[in-house]
Amino acid sequence: MTDLTTFTLAEARDALRARTISATELTQAHVEAVAKARALNAFLLETPERALADAARSDDRLARGEAGPLEGIPLGIKDLFCTAGVRTTAGSRILGEFTPPYESTVTAQLWRDGAVMLGKLNNDEFAMGSSNETSAFGPVVSPWRRAHPSVDARPPHAGSDEVGRVAFAAYDDTKLVPGGSSGGSAAAVAARLCLGATATDTGGSIRQPAAFTGTVGIKPTYGRCSRWGTVAFASSLDQAGPIARTVRDCAILLGSMSGFDPKDSTSVDRAVPDFEAAVSRGVKGLRIGIPKEYRLPGTPDEIAALWDQGAAWLREAGAEIVEVSLPHTRYALPAYYIVAPAEASSNLARYDGVRYGIRVPGRDVASQYEATRAEGFGREVKRRIMIGTYVLSAGYYDAYYVRAQRIRTLIKRDFEEAYAAGIDAILTPATPSSAFAIGEKASADPVEMYLNDVFTVTVNMAGLPGIAVPAGLDSRGLPLGLQLIGRPFDEETLFAAGAAIEAAAGRTVLPDAWW
Ligand code: GLN
């Protein structure tokens, strides 16, 4: 019998519609895969009964020919999305057993379109992190393992469907991070526990974990997906988006997740294009920019080489490759680490032990707040709240926050100028390294972890769409991704160009289950 967890989302959708498989058997296969994969710690909550009830409803609709665009498709939901009647933690202890009485707009749209919920996925606490190690419920373990350093695990022929086959000839069993903050989403998709997952991206949390796990992730334009019912981190940067195993699967999911929502004042009232149709559009005549400021000293040679390879693939597919300049790039990371904590400190003021989650009693109201927040928040969240409160305080507001906002405007303008000069999309590496070991960067200097976001934060600062696509493996057999950055509301070009890279690179063969 075929293993139903090896289908892509598009293949499963087509098989369901052709009635060669049922939603119930597809869901059952994934429920079992989730239960066998607890060593990965990807799911914080499994909802098998809900999943099978959803699947039964889908089978009825499929039988009546009333299938929605995602009818019967099993998905995992990042635990930052509020799900009505289903515990939502945001990866934090402070929310306790919080069970929202309402559903986020993004997830409501997925259920409207027929998707099946397998459960809630682990993430960094309040989405603050790049490795999923700040979750109050423990780190997620990547399904990938790296080859022993003495083995050259690079595939013999990138560009064929063999990519990744030799990677596990001689692995060491060091546990690796899946990236973050959407680490549970990326790990679950790479481990074939679900056909796709929701994720969120404030500074790179969709694209970086996708790059670390050989999966595809898109952060759409700010305003494309409603933020309503998604736990807030930094409201002017946060966007929801999908992680899935192919560019096409991401396009299908984003179609359901997108759309105007009057409940989110930053949601943009624009028609949702047929993203899936854009996947096969090709790249002929597109002008792809290569920003010279992204050639950072210290970037591993393998990543620089892959970036050149990606440009060559796009050129061979018919695009024109042009050097561009984004001169304020080097200020993006420091400015992000002022703006994001500032907004976080304000958003997280609501966790006071009165309205949501845990409450630690004190002598009076102020001491109750203090005790609750001391107990409920983890170290990284406390660090962000302190940085944010400091940069917003009366004496420092102009020196830090206002200047960071000015830099943000300059970063946005850099992109506007490139696009005004006729550039359709910009190609960069997705991350400055492949996945690292759990514990390797967590303890020492927090800035070391922040540097992971060097290629991704500019996109959030400018509100633009960005996609990460797997493009090859490094010498230890670990996935590396390339990023494409688009014009505002032009996710379609990212799907077209992302599909061209995917086709040239060959589909990454995902790791065999060792868990
Ligand atoms: N790693 C970045 C941070 O810690 C981005 C996180 C995210 O995109 N949610 O802030």
Q: What is the DSSP secondary structure assignment for residue 298, as one 8-state letter?
A: T
Choose the catalytic residue: 205, 256, 267, 434. Answer: 205
- C-beta separation of 499 from 279 below 8 A: yes
pLDDT, residue 477, reads 87
491 Cβ closer than 6 Å to some ligand 1 atom: no
pTM of model > 0.85: yes
Domains and CATH numbers, the chain: 4-331+406-505 (3.90.1300.10)
- C-beta separation of 263 from 26 below 8 A: no
Which residue owns the Cα nearest ligand 1 atom 5? 203
From ligand 1's centre to the CA of 255, what distance in Å? 24
Cβ atoms within 10 Å, residue 338? 23
Pocket mutation for ligand 1, best pick of 78, 130, 336, 458 (most atoms within 8 Å of C-beta)? 130
Which residues of the chain, if any, have pLDDT below 70? Answer: 1, 151-170
pLDDT, residue 512, reads 83
- C-beta separation of 28 from 215 below 8 A: no
Pocket mutation for ligand 1, best pick of 79, 125, 135, 205 (most atoms within 8 Å of C-beta)? 205
pLDDT, residue 154, reads 59
pLDDT, residue 1, reads 57
Which residue owns the Cα nearest ligand 1 atom 10? 128
pLDDT, residue 497, reads 98
Tell me the C-alpha distance between 203 and 458, whole Å.
8
Choose the catalytic residue: 22, 104, 181, 258. Answer: 181
**What single-letter amino acid sits at 338?**
I
pLDDT, residue 159, reads 43
DSSP labels, 5-36: GGS-HHHHHHHHHTTSS-HHHHHHHHHHHHHH
Dihedral of the alpha carbons of 234, 240, 244, 249, in degrees to the nearest 10: -150
Q: Which two tokens stand for residue 287?
A: 């002008």
DSSP labels, 66-100: ---TTTT-EEEEETTB-BTTB---TT-STTTT---
127 Cβ closer than 6 Å to some ligand 1 atom: yes
129 Cβ closer than 6 Å to some ligand 1 atom: yes
Half-sphere exposure of 477 (CA within 13 A, CB side): 25
SS3 (DSSP) at 480: strand
Tell me, rounded to whole angstroms, the distance of Cα 67 from its chain centroid.
Answer: 27
pLDDT, residue 162, reads 46
502 Cβ closer than 6 Å to some ligand 1 atom: no
457 Cβ closer than 6 Å to some ligand 1 atom: no
SS3 (DSSP) at 412: helix
**181 belongs to the catalytic site:** yes
SS3 (DSSP) at 118: strand
Specify the length of the chain in residues.
Answer: 515
Phi, psi of 491 (to 5 degrees): -60, -25
